[in-house]
């Protein structure tokens, strides 16, 4: 029984650490699935909104411009500061 509990806890720990260490993502090239997978606090709907904003307004000039997208606040931007690339 103890081995089962240890296995479950290890699995949970590994799944949490994978989500904490997201890969850098170019917000001007990534699709919605990539954005939602790599950016902390950005789900499918917010990722789709980012892509829609980019399609309507052209490429992002800075990561701060993400705050023009509905649902993206400064806290989300701060959480992802090290993971956002703009090329």
CATH number of the domain at 53, please: 1.10.150.280
Say if 68 falls within a structural domain: yes
Domain-embedded: residue 36: yes
∠ CA 11-22-58, rounded to 5°: 145
Q: Give the pLDDT of residue 12.
A: 66
pLDDT (tens digit, 9 = 90+) per residue, 23-73? 899 999 999 999 999 999 999 999 999 999 999 999 999 999 999 999 999
Structural tokens at position 83: 């993971």
Residue 17 lies in a domain: no
User: Helix or strand or coil: residue 28?
Assistant: coil
Answer yes or no: is 14 within a domain.
no
Asked whether residue 52 is domain-assigned, the answer is yes
Question: Is 50 part of a structural domain of the chain?
Answer: yes
78: in domain? yes
Whether 38 is covered by a domain: the verdict is: yes
**What total number of domains does the chain contain?**
1
The larger pLDDT score, comparing residue 87 to residue 10, is at 87
pTM of the model: 0.75
Which tokens go with 7?
Answer: 């296995």
What is the domain extent for residue 27?
22-85
């Amino acid at each position: 029984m103890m081995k089962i509990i240890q296995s479950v806890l290890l699995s949970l720990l590994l799944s949490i650490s994978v989500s904490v260490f997201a890969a850098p993502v170019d917000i001007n090239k990534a699709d919605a699935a990539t954005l939602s997978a790599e950016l902390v606090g950005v789900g499918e709907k917010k990722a789709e909104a980012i892509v829609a904003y980019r399609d309507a307004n052209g490429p992002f000039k800075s990561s701060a411009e993400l705050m023009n997208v509905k649902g993206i606040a400064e806290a989300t931007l701060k959480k992802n500061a090290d993971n956002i690339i703009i090329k």
